[in-house]
Amino acid sequence: MTSLQSIKAVIAPDLARLNDLIRSRLAADNPLMDKVIDSYLTTKGKQIRPIIVMLCARMFGPVTQRVLNAAAAVELLHNASLIHDDVVDESKLRRNQPTINAVWDNHIAVLVGDFFVSTALQLAIATGDIRIIDAIGRLGKLLSLGEIDQIYNARAHTLTEEAYFKIINFKTASLFVACAQVGCHAVDADADTTAKLSEIAELLGLCFQIRDDVFDYFEADKVGKPTGNDLREGKITLPLLHVLLDPSAPDHDTMNALAAIEELDEDQIATLQRYARDNGGIEYAYATMGRLRERAAEIAATLPDPAKADPLMQIFDYIIARDY
């Protein structure tokens, strides 16, 4: 049993309540919308984000209806971003299942994503806490800005770690921060603990995205899902970025010129994947994740009861070790 499975086992009743709430709030009394949503909900994903909401709340007491509403709001906004991303990226698979846009077309997918956003906002309002409503509103803006920044940097061929971390902070870590914030707000946690848990969540989100980016540098049959997508879209992520920025790396100028090509073919993508793997890019990404985890552990040690942050640190370990 993985660390994530162990955590899920402990909070299984709360997760069941969460999923019942999500399904009930998404009921549309519209045959097509209900059919699409029912199909989508058959694969829930890992649900790491609402789990973080509940873990933060559980440090101060039981998972109340307000906590569930906040967790459901975050999960629905996250899924809305995935549905919209699949349209933008023209993705055909998500969680080993056909995407909404692949089955029903882009028009339906955009509308379903919008329906998820609206439902997330209703759930945030249902908490009766303006801090949670504000966190969900700000999150939607940051997710959009992260995607816009990534598209801009891909077109401008901006190659800096600073730009990379800004993008993943907006597009991924911001969601993890919101999870900690709404979880704490839902139980009226003190400001100092909320800030510390939010910082841990930010580091966790950065780690999650780096690990996700590492997958893209291996063959699809080893990962269990399509890879090379970032390079197809002109996105240079940390493993390759590190090597391209190293002037001592072999074939430095040649590979930088190759990475700057507007539309790479499959052989060129494979060449850049190997270049990152063969020249320390993967190892650098893992070392970076290790440093992020160490910083999170340092922050956790300053909490009033550090042991209560153990489940969050277990999620770090799960993310770094996961193979899909």
Residues contacting 39, CB < 8 A, separation 6+: 100, 103
Residues 314 and 48: their CA atoms lie apart, in Å, by 12
How confident is the model at residue 44, as a pLDDT? 76
Token representation of residue 44:
């829930």
Residue-wise pLDDT tens digits, 121-142: 999 999 999 999 999 999 989 9
Q: How many CA atoms lie within 13 A of 232 on its CB side?
A: 9
What does the pLDDT read at residue 207? 97
CB distance 194 to 185 below 8 Å: yes
Question: What's the pLDDT tens digit per position in 267-290?
Answer: 999 999 999 999 999 999 999 999
SS3 readout for 48-68: HHHHHHHHHHHCCCCCCHHHH
Supply the pLDDT for residue 87: 87
What pLDDT was estimated at residue 113? 93
- The total of other beta-carbon atoms located within 10 Å of residue 102's CB is 16
Q: What is the pLDDT of residue 108?
A: 93
Query: CATH classification of 3-321 is 1.10.600.10, yes or no?
Result: yes
Q: What is the pTM of this model?
A: 0.92
pLDDT for position 226: 62
CA 82 to chain centre: 9
Characterise 224 by phi-psi region: left (phi > 0), alpha (psi -120 to 50), beta (else): left
Express the helix, strand and coil content of the chain in percent, nearest 5 each: 75, 0, 25
Domain ranges of the chain: 3-321
Residues of the chain with pLDDT under 50: 223-224
Specify the pLDDT at position 268: 95
**What is d(CA 213, CA 118) in angstroms, rounded to the nearest whole number?**
30
Rg of the chain, C-alpha, whole Å: 20
Position 221 scores a pLDDT of 53
